[in-house]
Amino acid sequence: MKELSASRTAQYMALFRALETQRPHDKLVYDPYAINFLDRGFQIATRLSVIPPIRRMIQRIIQKRIPGAYSSGIARTRYIDELVQQAVNQGIQQVVILGAGFDTRALRLDFLRLLPVIEIDHPNTSAVKKEKLGSLTPHVQYLQLDFNEKGLDDLSLNASLPTVFIWEGVTNYLQEEAIAATFRFIEKFPEGSFVIFTYVDEKVLREPHAYYGGEKLLNDVARLEEKWTFGWKPGNLRKYLQQFELELLEDNSAVEYRRQYMPARTEKGYEFYRVAFAVRK
């Protein structure tokens, strides 16, 4: 995946959070930091989105260009936020965000402010993030890792602490061995650790036309040389995780978390994206 393209993907997610923050009511996510990651055009659009007709126009443009992305992305963000809080409530002592991109949970979620948060990402993305945010809070540590040169075992992480790993928007770009290596790394952490990760139903790789927005999305990422390479059959995930001493607790599709968090909103969204939540046994 191209580093420039990866940054653009992260910027789209930041755009969705920034737009949601501007909603006058019923917002699923409040992220005052997201706008800092946007280019000038996106920043102007975000600020103008407080005007209802302009907001509707922006939403129509997003839905036409990347159908399903906004509603799926925002509902997913809220869902993962709540899963992280569940893990914190059950006694985890450390948060590790893999492929952090422009994730701002360490700053916007108050319940993380008393925990060490370690963000791991490519040096280029990490540098951009620190530049955009300015001064950093002491509980957040930014670790740089080029996965083409090193692995997670090369990092100095405290593997004695119960930890929650957040791994969002990554697995569908990887090969199976890289995914297995990450789960083997998580397996080194104590019982009671958690992992929250996204994945795509492997059917979308074979039959993208079967899903709303699927065919256009896969064509777009192919043009960006960001081809999706991996997915699971949802019914096979539980058995797959057992080999890494992980018990699957939740596995929900975008349809399910959109229905949970935005039942009164009419945006269609991806059906093939999923969020899984597992505990180290």
Domain boundaries, the chain: 67-280
According to the model, what pLDDT value does residue 1 have? Answer: 43
According to the model, what pLDDT value does residue 225 have? Answer: 65
User: pLDDT of 254-268, one tens digit each?
Assistant: 999 999 999 887 777
Beta strands in 44-113 (DSSP E): 94-98
Cα-Cα-Cα-Cα torsion 118, 110, 59, 230, nearest 10 degrees, comes to 30
Beta-bridge partners for 22: none
Is residue 29 within 8 Å of residue 21, measured between CB atoms? yes
Helix residue spans in 91-168 (DSSP H): 105-108, 123-133
More confident residue, 155 or 227: 155
User: pLDDT of 15-55, one tens digit each?
Assistant: 999 999 999 888 999 999 999 999 999 999 999 999 999 99
Distances (CA, A) of 248 to 170, 236, 276: 19, 11, 7
The answer to whether domain 67-280 has CATH 3.40.50.2300 is no
According to the model, what pLDDT value does residue 148 have? Answer: 61
